[in-house]
Structure formats: structure tokens, C-alpha cells
A and B are shown apart, each in its own frame.
Chain A
């Protein structure tokens, strides 16, 4: 029983990180329909920005994190501005855009590996590494911060989308770009905003896991895959869905370890994904898959 609780707690912590990734990726995908695998690169970059800010610029941890989040948001904007928008202007196929995104992911990850070496780099996290015991469950303070960050991020994003003008513009574009255009929303700006918000909400995940186990160049690929699975299972276009999908996936993987060796975790996630798309392709909360504008 204790073991199960521990696994569930770990699942919650990991799920928080998946959630931040899924929220960001899902927002971008739902609004722009770009299959933005380079989001994994932004996730990774955030960690390196924090590392550089702390270690090379000698900034205090909190400032370093803030700087990193802003830099990550800018990185997301630049990717859309410099790569995706030019492609869209030329009427590129969705696959073309995906290939460019894949190229960016590969390019950025490996550039980081060459510059910083592929070995994990350690950040100073000070008192956050301190242990916390909740009954039979052992966590660190950093883990609690991760869960809190995911919760805060979720509610902040929901509030942003519901109650601010910019958030409503994003929702309009997400539900129908043509309608949004007719009411005067500038699609290009809305996309840039989406990339900024989506990247900013995922950045903490990259930073938090780097603070826990080290800054590495190749982690983003796995995380963006899991984020896309979580979003599809939760339902494209649904923020709560992305959150639930991410938590579900993480709990599945971590509780699965109870019975199945950990190296098969990815197989579990993937198997569940296949079952899901057979039984309920639109996911838990997704809008019904409409035909394109016919």
C-alpha cells in the first residue's frame, strides 16, 4: 500500500510536468493546427536558459527562472515568425510544416549537445532539494513546487483564456479561424501570442525537471511526444482535457511500474493511446472531428 501511495505521488509529480507540456503544446496545436514538435526544443531551451542565467550570469535562482521563461516565450515566437509563418504564406502543406518543425527540434537539441556536451548539467537549487514526508510518501520540496506550478499554470491559463481580451481572441481563432478573421482578429498576431503563452507555460516544466535531475539536451523529444498523446486523449482544443490526459498518462506509467518493469513504460502509454483512438478518437473532451471547410 505504501508503495502504491509512493508511486501515485511520483505519478502526480511527473504528471504535473507532463501537464505543463501538454497545456502549452495543446494550446498551440488547438489554435494554429501546427504539429509543433519543436515545442520539445523550447522545453529543453528553457532549462539551458535557466542554467546559463544562474551559472554564467550569476543571477539568483528565482530571477534566472523568470529570465528563462521569458526567453523561452521569445524562442517560441521566433520559431513561428521565422519558420512557420513564411511557410504558411507560401501555402505549404501541413506535412511540410511538420518536417520543418522536426528539423528544428533535431537542430536545436544537437546544437545544445555540441555546445554544452550531452552530459547532464547540475543547477543549484538550494533548499528546494530538502526532503518532505507526507505519511508514507517521500518527496522533495522541488516536487511539491512542481505540483503547485502545474496547478497555478492551469488556473492562470484558464483565467487568461476566459477573462482577458487576448485570451478570448485565441479562443476565437481556435474554434474558427475564418470567423475570427471576419470579426477583425489579426491571425498572425494571434498565432504569435499563442506561441508566447504556450511556450511560457511549458518552460517551467523543462526548468523544474532540469533542477531535479540535471539539464540535458535530448529530453524534449520524449516530453513532446507524451504531450501530444495526452492532448489527443484529453481531446484536441480542450485545456482541461490536456490536463487530465497528462495526469492520466503519468499515473498510468508510474502505477504501471508496480506490475510491469519500468523499461516498458513507454509501451504502456503507447498501447493505451492506440486503444483510445480506436474507441474514442476525439478524446475525453474533444470537439467532434469535423470535416474541413467543404
Chain B
């Protein structure tokens, strides 16, 4: 039972990182990305391949993951954000589709459907982290770090600019803010952080395959962000907690596996629609940001 609880907490921590980083885009900048699962996957594969093919340890792998994630995001963000937000949505949709194709079809690199097994556990100065509760601390540490980074970004002049862009981009331009550049920077930071979640995941489960990084996963992460509330930082964490509890609840109802997956998606879809109609700011969010 405790091993099960530890696993649950690790996943909450990992999804908190994903939700916090996506929230920088959706909640604070008003830009929607459908590619966060692809970024998650890029981080996982980059880190795993660095370990398996280059012998790079977990810490190096995570740094590589962040860099590759940021780069992939920049490739998409730079051409599309120059134009308009809707172009970024389509471009992110495209990135998601393309990365899944890469994970599934570039078999020389990624082993395709079969996935990559045998990813090594992290190593802290000679001490291998493989007990479930040890991993809870590791993942928890990174979740806290991500939270702190996001906090620093949003609770500052930079955060003010983000909110100004979200609420009235034209006024922001007139007041001298380079809106396109700021959006690109936020997109890259968001992806760097999201990719680190992928690295954590890869070295925890020690096996990754493409099916974990498909579009439905992007929608799940977006649901976490929206449910938890996008205006406050604790929101995504609460969202992660709640939404990860749902599949467990479904298990108790003895719903057959084949139906369980679409059932979960129905719940997420319904939650998205409901929250937009009733409470777009989420469970914890307020209708307005608190004054800083």
C-alpha cells in the first residue's frame, strides 16, 4: 500500500511540473499550446537516449532534456508567434503530431512502438535513487524548484508584462513591450521545464514508449491546468492531485479497461467545457489576479 501511495505522489509531482510549466503559457500569457505532451516526450526521450547511448547520468540528461525541449519549442514559436496566437495553436498541434510520428517511426533512434527499456535510475554522488520514497523526495524537490522558478517569473516585472500581454496585447505594445519576444521566451521556458518532467518520468519508470506522449496527454495536462486554476501557482498542483485521483476512482467502479480510457477522456472534455462556461479561472483561481 505504501509503495502504491509513493507512486501516486511521484506522479502528482511530475504532473505538477507539467501543469505549472503549461500554466506559464495558458494562464499567465494567454497562449494555448497543444504540444505539451510532445515536449514531455522530447524530455523523456532526450534524457533516456543520453543515458542509454551516451552514458550521461540523470543530471546531465535532465539538462539536455531542458535544452532540447526549449529548442523544439523555439523552432515552432518563432515563426508562428510573430503572426498571431491562433497560428501558434496550429503550429503546436503540428509539433505534437510530428513528434509522435518521430517517436513511433524513427525506429533507429527511438525503437518505435517497442519503446526504450532499461533506463538507469538517478545517481546522487554514488547513491542510487531507487526506493519509491526516495523518488518521492527527488520528484518533490523538482516540483518545488519548478514552483519557485514560476513564482520568481510571475511575481516580478516580467510577470506584470505577461499579464499585460494576456489582458491587452496592443496596450502592451504601445507601452514599449516587445510582445513577440516575451511570448517566445515564455514558450521556451515553459518547454524547458516541461521537458525536465519527461526526464524525471523516464528515469523513474525506466521504460518509455510513444503512447504516453500523444495528443490525449496534452489535453489531460491542459485539463489539470484549467481545473486547478490558472491564476495562482498552487492551482496546477491541486489539479494534478484531483485528476490523478479520478482514474483510481474509476478502478473501484470495475469499469473494463477498454472503456476506462475513453471514459476518462469524456470526463476531461466535460470538465474543460464546464469550467469554461462556469468558472474559467478554475477551482482556486480568482476572477482577478490578486494585487501585487
- A-side residues, CB < 8 A to B, are 35, 83, 86-87, 92-100, 102-111, 113-114, 118, 221-222, 225, 228-229, 232, 261, 263-264, 266-267, 269-270, 273-274, 277-278, 281, 289, 291-292, 294
Q: Mark B73-96, 1 if CB is under 8 A from A, else 0.
A: 001100110111111011101110
Q: Which residues of A contact B79 (CB under 8 A)?
A: 274, 277-278
Q: Can you give 14 A-B contacts (C-beta < 8 A)?
A: A99-B276, A100-B273, A102-B222, A103-B276, A106-B268, A107-B269, A110-B263, A225-B93, A266-B98, A266-B101, A267-B98, A274-B79, A274-B94, A281-B82
Q: Which residues of A contact B222 (CB under 8 A)?
A: 99, 102
Q: Which residues of B contact A98 (CB under 8 A)?
A: 32, 89
B33-82 residues at the A interface, CB under 8 angstroms: 34, 75-76, 79-80, 82
Does B226 have its Cβ within 8 Å of any Cβ on chain A?
yes
**A100 contacts which of B93, B219, B272 (Cβ < 8 Å)?**
B272
Measured in the bound complex, the distance between the Cα atoms of B188 and A53 in whole Å is 49
- B-side residues, CB < 8 A to A, are 26, 30-32, 34, 75-76, 79-80, 82-87, 89-91, 93-95, 97-98, 101-102, 104-105, 170, 215-216, 219, 222, 226, 259, 262-263, 265-266, 268-274, 276-277, 280
**B273 contacts which of A103, A113, A267, A277 (Cβ < 8 Å)?**
A103
Measured in the bound complex, the distance between the Cα atoms of B100 and A263 in whole Å is 11
Measured in the bound complex, the distance between the Cα atoms of B80 and A229 in whole Å is 12
CB of A273 within 8 A of CB of B276, answer no
CB of B97 within 8 A of CB of A96, answer no
CB of B90 within 8 A of CB of A100, answer no
**A interface SS class:** helix
CB of B84 within 8 A of CB of A289, answer yes
**B interface SS class:** helix
For A92, A95, A118, A263, the residue with the greatest tally of chain B CB atoms inside 10 Å of its CB is A95
Measured in the bound complex, the distance between the Cα atoms of B105 and A113 in whole Å is 26
Measured in the bound complex, the distance between the Cα atoms of B87 and A263 in whole Å is 24
CB of B97 within 8 A of CB of A95, answer no
Residue of A whose beta carbon sits closest to that of B281? A96
Q: A94-B86, A103-B270, A228-B90 are in contact. List 20 more A-B contacts (CB 8 A).
A: A35-B86, A35-B89, A98-B89, A99-B32, A100-B273, A106-B272, A107-B269, A107-B270, A107-B272, A107-B273, A109-B265, A110-B263, A111-B262, A229-B94, A266-B98, A270-B97, A273-B91, A278-B79, A281-B87, A289-B84
CB of A97 within 8 A of CB of B276, answer yes
Chain A min CB distance to B112 (Å):
10
Chain B min CB distance to A289 (Å):
7
CB of A292 within 8 A of CB of B269, answer no
Q: Given A35-B89, A92-B276, A277-B87, answer yes or no on A106-B219 (Cβ-Cβ < 8 Å).
A: yes
CB of A87 within 8 A of CB of B101, answer no
Chain B min CB distance to A182 (Å):
23
Measured in the bound complex, the distance between the Cα atoms of B97 and A225 in whole Å is 10
